[in-house]
Amino acid sequence: MMARGEADSNPDYWNEYTNLQQVKHDLIRCYLGGWFAKLGFWAGRVVYLDTHSGRGKYNSGELGSPLVALDTLLNHRARHRLLSTSEFVFLFIERDAENLERLKRELASRQLPRNVRVDPHCGDAFAVIDDIVRNTKALAPAFVFVDPYGFKIPAATLRALLRAGRVELFINVIWRELDMAISQARSGLKPGMAATLTEVFDGEEWRDIAAPGLDERADQAVRLLASKLGAKWHTYIRMLGDNDRTRYVLLHLTNHDEGRDLMKDCMWKVAPDGGYYARKSVDPGQLVLISPTPDPAPPRQWAVERLRAQPRRWHELQEDLRSELWREPQLKAVIRELRKEGVISASEYEGTSSFKADPWLRLGTTRTEE
């Protein structure tokens, strides 16, 4: 564990703000915008926890994750109604005392309304989380952003946190360093690394992460970590470095269907072609006038295959879709097109609210697709 007030090992990090940081913050902003609204009207208390909060602002002026999260609430269009119903608590943990002081100065520039509480804390995030889980009978709904300075994250601690209540985890998996550590431990170059990896994955299964390709190994690692933490849903986006190889992975874990749907929506916004990756080399200040068009072929084929097996109600396709990459608006567009072409037929499908009627969908008699 890191000591209280341990110095920032990479202060130069704050000199560069790339597209990867922007995508990370766009995802936080998008998700919290929906998540605050979903929970704030009934929960009574909602918590945002940032494990490695940093300084709050980059040297070039862009906001860090704590201020992105706080401003998402302060600028929320339903802010007044949300704050009349629930208290919002922001727990910002930072191990470096100087970074924390800078963050406090940034926070002091915000006027906090009633029912918004900000708690900056100097210390080791995972020790703090252990204390919270151990001493709290029932956690309030929480979104926890785990953004470590290295790849060392204790799976057992995060699993206990995920089980402690309605908790969402958003983890920055520092893949390049983690992949290197796995290679060194397997080869015997750093024998002591094996114990660290066993803590990261809460078991010896990391030894099976051995696919030939870097991205394939990243997929193996993410699936193993999600399995170890015990989440119902895991959704992730690859963040690519200068050489277009995976630099790190942003992994969202939730036990709630609505959380899975919301994160899929947000990831499609930052990666509209459905690739679920972002590149460092994209200029974060550049305006994109035309977004890439999602390829309709995969969801079209998926829908036809489902209906070839048997007719289905619309809600059944909705539920099946949750485990896929595509979003509901894309599937609706595919269903409309297939129906227009005569590939499928629908009963109880009328007017502008046709999908709300939960129509029966089946392959049509005029034409089928192979």
- For residue 330, the domain's CATH number is 1.10.10
pLDDT number for residue 245:
86
Claim to verify: residue 211 and residue 332 sit in the same structural domain: no
Using alpha carbons only, give the angle 25, 29, 33 rounded to the nearest 5 degrees: 170
24 bridge partner residues: none
DSSP code of residue 57: B
Q: Is residue 289 part of a domain?
A: no
pLDDT of 225-246, one tens digit each? Answer: 999 999 999 999 998 887 888 8
> pTM of the predicted model, to two decimals?
0.89
Claim to verify: residue 83 and residue 141 sit in the same structural domain: yes
State the Cα–Cα distance between residues 93 and 164, nearest whole angstrom: 19
Q: Is residue 227 part of a domain?
A: yes
Q: Is residue 288 part of a domain?
A: no
Q: Is residue 148 part of a domain?
A: yes
pLDDT of 130-172, one tens digit each? Answer: 999 999 878 899 999 999 988 999 999 999 999 999 999 999 9
Claim to verify: residue 126 and residue 33 sit in the same structural domain: yes
Q: How many domains does the chain have?
A: 2
pLDDT number for residue 4:
43
pLDDT of 246-277, one tens digit each? Answer: 899 999 999 999 999 999 999 998 876 656 66
Q: Give the distance from CA 135 to its chain's centroid.
A: 27
What Å distances lie between residue 234 and 75, 84, 173, 259, CA to CA? Answer: 28, 32, 13, 10
Q: Is residue 76 part of a domain?
A: yes
For β-strands 165-173 and 246-254, DSSP reports them as antiparallel
Sheet holding 87-94, edge to edge: 116-122, 87-94, 45-50, 139-146, 165-173, 246-254, 233-240, 277-279
Last residue of a domain, one of 216, 248, 279: 279
Claim to verify: residue 240 and residue 127 sit in the same structural domain: yes
Q: Is residue 37 part of a domain?
A: yes
Last residue of a domain, one of 244, 279, 314: 279
Q: Is residue 4 part of a domain?
A: no
pLDDT of 162-214, one tens digit each? Answer: 999 999 999 999 999 999 999 999 888 887 899 999 999 999 999 999 999 99
Containing domain of residue 137, as a range?
11-279
Q: Is residue 285 part of a domain?
A: no
- For residue 46, the domain's CATH number is 3.40.50.150
Last residue of a domain, one of 214, 245, 279: 279
Claim to verify: residue 252 and residue 314 sit in the same structural domain: no
Mean pLDDT of the chain: 89
Claim to verify: residue 170 and residue 89 sit in the same structural domain: yes
pLDDT of 269-321, one tens digit each? Answer: 887 665 666 665 544 333 333 345 667 788 899 999 999 999 999 999 999 99
Check pLDDT > 70 for residue 5: no
Most confident among 14-18, 109-113, 275-279 (mean pLDDT): 109-113
